[in-house]
Amino acid sequence: MNVQHENQKLWEHLEQLAEQAEGLAAESFRSVERIAERNQWKVIEAFQRHNVSDFHFTGSTGYGYNDRGREILDLVYADVFGAEAALVRPHFVSGTHTISCALFGVLRPGEELLYVTGRPYDTLHKVIGKPGDRTGSLQDWGVIYAEVPLQEDGSLDWQLIEQAITDKTKVIGIQRSRGYDWRASFTVSEIENMVKRVKALKPDVLVFVDNCYGEFTELLEPTQVGVDLMAGSLIKNPGGGLAETGGYIAGTASAVEAAAYRLTAPGIGGEVGAMLGTLRLMFQGLFLAPHLVGQAIKGSVLAAALFEELGFVTKPRWNEPRTDLIQAVRFGQAEHLIAFVQGIQQAAAVDSHVVPEPWDMPGYENAVIMAAGTFIQGGSLELSADAPIREPYIAYMQGGLTYAHAKYGILTALFRLVESGLIVIKPYIT
């Protein structure tokens, strides 16, 4: 048999495996679709309540005073997230910048930020910094920082948390998504319990949630269950694949105002900031976000089902509840991990000819390999995969603006792994 024919047979076999996995996951797919539908209606109702109109899509220039579209966008976000206020801006350069503004807004020298979900996401380490590091980090400014590691089983260590909360504790930090850690993500109902428990220990504490990758994966958001402040990136879930840049903060009116003073300047806050041409895509992206998040999650469920069938360990497993986009697959070997990520890139509509290699990305501690053949640079509601090159070589994949793209991306990656002899598919007989 010639190579081409051989490859065609393998490809068809992998398509069949994917169809089997789809059959297995049918029930999970249906529940993802239900959530997407209800969140779609939740967003539309918020648009309606605020009389969103065509003229709100025209952005201001210069100072951006009285930009009605910007004001309405903030109100719509606050409404969707069940928060008193929101600040949605293209002026946030990334999720990290958004989270940084939120934390600097509410913390003062001598006050403590206590992360109760273990070590936060890599890029936040430099925001937290070290005392006297002269980078303008939180600790450089005299904010106190502490974290309580998660227990072996991934749950919170309440014994240590109780001991760690003191007079100085001002903000409790919670990271909803796994980030680059092999742990479970925290569901909104788990976050609700955390809020109740920390507030019982110290009623005046402010609870902050890093909500990156979480938006619209469940029916409720953290600010609807007692969280005071949360932040996320618009090139992830809530931007709906259309927002070209930016972030959002939602929470109590006073905390959001404090963050706005950080983003611009004290006394100016959210009252200025030209939106230029960004508004329509931000509104339309929010409108599309619930559906696209559903498509992406179906892709993640498929990846889990398929790779589990092939004997890999995945997190979450295909039939476990989801509270973010991220699907972790443990490859165990660097070669496998790299081939997988390269396969995801190879299946992209944009930059499919580029072969990603590990590189030392600013803000990350290990070399990282990323597949990001995306319309928006680094946009990770789009099909993408990231992996720090460290043991046990876990790939974190997420996104897919359409389920079909996610599916064929996973198949392309799998094909690459099988074709190169890195993994062997057992029932496959040529």
List residues binding ligand PLP (CB under 6 A): 94-96, 121, 123, 175, 177, 179, 210, 212-213, 233
Q: CA end-to-end span of the chain, whole Å?
A: 9
Our CB check for ligand PLP shows the closer of 145 and 408 to be: 145
Report how far residue 353's alpha carbon sits from residue 74's, in angstroms, rounded to the nearest whole number: 39
Least distance in Å: CB of 327 to ligand PLP? 13
The CA-based angle 378-248-364, given to 5 degrees, is 40
Least distance in Å: CB of 175 to ligand PLP? 5
Report how far residue 394's alpha carbon sits from residue 379's, in angstroms, rounded to the nearest whole number: 20
**Whether 99 contacts 259, CB under 8 Å:** no
Our CB check for ligand PLP shows the closer of 14 and 102 to be: 102
Q: How many CB atoms lie within 10 A of CB 35?
A: 18
φ/ψ of residue 173, rounded to 5: -100, 135
**HSE, side-chain direction, 13 A CA sphere, residue 393:** 13
Our CB check for ligand PLP shows the closer of 179 and 343 to be: 179
| Identity of residue 30 | R
Q: Which two tokens mark 114?
A: 């206590």
Q: How many CB atoms lie within 10 A of CB 313?
A: 15
Block residue for tokens 């801006």:
89
Our CB check for ligand PLP shows the closer of 67 and 215 to be: 215
Our CB check for ligand PLP shows the closer of 95 and 129 to be: 95
By C-alpha distance, which of 151, 318, 296, 312 is closest to 236?
Answer: 296
Q: Which two tokens mark 309?
A: 């069938």
Least distance in Å: CB of 164 to ligand PLP? 21
By C-alpha distance, which of 65, 30, 56 is closest to 287?
Answer: 56
**Whether 406 contacts 348, CB under 8 Å:** no
Q: What is the 3-state secondary structure (H, E, C) of 64-120?
A: CCCCHHHHHHHHHHHHHCCCCEEEEECCCCCHHHHHHHHHHHHCCCCCEEEECCCCC
Least distance in Å: CB of 383 to ligand PLP? 16
Least distance in Å: CB of 344 to ligand PLP? 17
Our CB check for ligand PLP shows the closer of 210 and 228 to be: 210
Helices (H), 274-377: 279-309, 334-346
By C-alpha distance, which of 82, 84, 83 is closest to 42?
Answer: 82
By C-alpha distance, which of 32, 18, 16 is closest to 298?
Answer: 32
Query: Nearest to ligand PLP by Cβ — which residue?
Result: 95
Block residue for tokens 């496998």:
336
Task: Please tell me what DSSP assigns to residue 359.
Answer: B
Phi-psi region of 77 (alpha: psi -120 to 50; beta: other; left: phi over 0): alpha
Our CB check for ligand PLP shows the closer of 69 and 356 to be: 356
Our CB check for ligand PLP shows the closer of 59 and 239 to be: 239
Report how far residue 316's alpha carbon sits from residue 329's, in angstroms, rounded to the nearest whole number: 9
Least distance in Å: CB of 126 to ligand PLP? 11
Our CB check for ligand PLP shows the closer of 14 and 326 to be: 326
Our CB check for ligand PLP shows the closer of 347 and 368 to be: 368
Our CB check for ligand PLP shows the closer of 180 and 283 to be: 180
